[in-house]
Amino acid sequence: MCPDVIVRRIAGIFVLVTLALGTWVHAGWYGATAFVGLNLLQSSFTRWCLLERVLGRMRVAGCRPHEA
């Protein structure tokens, strides 16, 4: 589990970076933006987030591994 602010901050940064890359480098980067959006949408229904799981395993900034 991670504090929501960490997940939101990373997702926001990722969206902004991939939008910039899609604009200035190659339109294929918009697929990564869509992936983040879809993940945020599904996590609002399922309460499961891949980023939260990854950060927990890496023990980043207050995140802890998922208890099974």
Tens place of pLDDT per residue across the chain (68 aa):
677 888 899 999 999 999 999 999 999 999 999 999 999 999 999 988 888 888 888 887 777 777 65
How many separate domains does the chain show? 1
Range of the domain at 13: 4-58
Q: Is residue 66 part of a domain?
A: no
State the angle between helix axes of 4-24 and 30-46 in degrees (0 to 180), rounded to the nearest 10. Answer: 160
Integer Cα distance of 50 and 68 in angstroms: 15
CA distance readout (Å), 48 to 4, 7, 18, 35: 12, 12, 23, 15
CB 21 within 8 A of CB 29: yes
Q: Is residue 14 part of a domain?
A: yes
Integer Cα distance of 39 and 29 in angstroms: 16
- Specify the pLDDT at position 23: 96
Q: Is residue 63 part of a domain?
A: no
What is the pTM for the complete model shown?
0.81
